[in-house]
Chains A and B, each alone.
Chain A
């Protein structure tokens, strides 16, 4: 009977060990949608103000592709501000992250205009575009939908577009999709996990 306290203590210790072990082994739960069997991200070349840019230039980093346009008043600034916030949260680790803003409005967004625009969110962000066919081809391989539609006389045409961002891992695989509006904290946590 004297042994009972010892048995209890040992059992408790074992259970605690199993519990903590299981917790440590439990995989990180992403806020974005993880792609279970990631494929190599399709490569492309579009123009930035400082020359051609391809996702493969950033192999070894985590690359975030976001498609939008500078006339966009709501979704694009919100997402770029969230991504810039995530960069600040990541601190030094942010140097291992490259955000690329792809314009789906080649008629109005020049590489120079894009550089100014994205640079005011974070000087490390890159903005790229190409001619209509080039942009359409890039959007298609990434499953990005966009479509011009008439706005009002004042707004000019507007563009409906996929509001999620695509994340390419260090090995160049399309790994994660960040839905619109998840906020800088969750984006930073997901990127941090991919940087491990």
Chain B
């Protein structure tokens, strides 16, 4: 019986490895690309769902793999020109019942000054800080291109 409990716990830990939830906020599909040689920056992507009744905000992120971590968004200007800027107000609103996608060409967690090579098939820790839900510890899955 004890073995089964341990096994169930282990499965729970493995299943939670790349996502996590706290206070109605659920984060899934946390990923990044392998870092190209000579690259100094990277981007992390994820889906953030607010299953609670109250609005929440993603206010920050940190990772030992990055010297500095910022919340950025890409935006399209005229003629296919893409610009990048820190998110307005330094926070991303997650409305109740909404899922906000962080994806290439849109929102991303910008990892400035990578401190280690991001290798395909590995994970790096990432902490997302929400105004209401607090800190959420996650693992970023580095996916082969």
Contacts and interface: CB of A to CB of B under 8 A. Distances in A.
A70 B82 contact: no
A154 B105 contact: no
B112 interface: yes
Given A74-B104, A75-B74, A85-B145, A162 B81 contact: yes
For the complex of A and B, list the 3 residue pairs with the smallest distance between their C-beta atoms, beginning with the closest: A154-B68, A160-B83, A81-B145
Contacts of B115: none
Nearest to A80: B36
Interface string B55-73: 0000000000001101010
A84 B72 CA distance: 25
Contacts of A73: 41-43, 72, 84, 108, 110-112
Nearest to B80: A164
Interface string B104-130: 110010111100000000000000000
B24 interface: no
Q: How large is the interface on B (under 10, 10 to 19, 20 to 34, 35 or more residues)?
A: 20 to 34
B108 A74 contact: yes
A156 to B, nearest CB: 8
A154 B112 contact: yes
Chain B contact surface mostly: strand
B38 interface: yes
Interface stretch (A52-60, A92-100, A113-121): A113-121
A182 B94 CA distance: 27
B84 A154 contact: no
Contact of B67 (A154, A162, A164): A154
Given A73-B42, A73-B108, 14 more contacts: A74-B108, A77-B33, A85-B145, A117-B39, A149-B83, A154-B70, A155-B70, A155-B112, A160-B82, A160-B84, A162-B79, A162-B80, A162-B82, A163-B81
Interface of A: 70-75, 77-78, 80-81, 84-85, 113-114, 116-121, 143, 145-146, 149, 151-152, 154-155, 158, 160-164, 177, 179-181
B2 interface: no
B21 interface: no
Interface string B84-114: 1110000000000000000011001011110
Interface of B: 33-34, 36-43, 67-68, 70, 72, 74, 77, 79-86, 104-105, 108, 110-113, 145
B119 to A, nearest CB: 11
A162 B81 CA distance: 4
Given A75-B105, A160-B84, A116 B112 contact: no
23 contacts: A70-B39, A70-B40, A71-B40, A72-B84, A73-B43, A73-B110, A74-B105, A75-B105, A78-B33, A81-B145, A114-B38, A116-B36, A116-B38, A117-B36, A120-B37, A155-B110, A155-B112, A158-B83, A158-B84, A160-B83, A162-B79, A163-B81, A180-B82
B37 to A, nearest CB: 4
A74 B38 contact: no
A157 B83 CA distance: 12
A180 to B, nearest CB: 6
Contacts of A149: 83
Given A145-B79, A160-B77, A119 B37 contact: yes
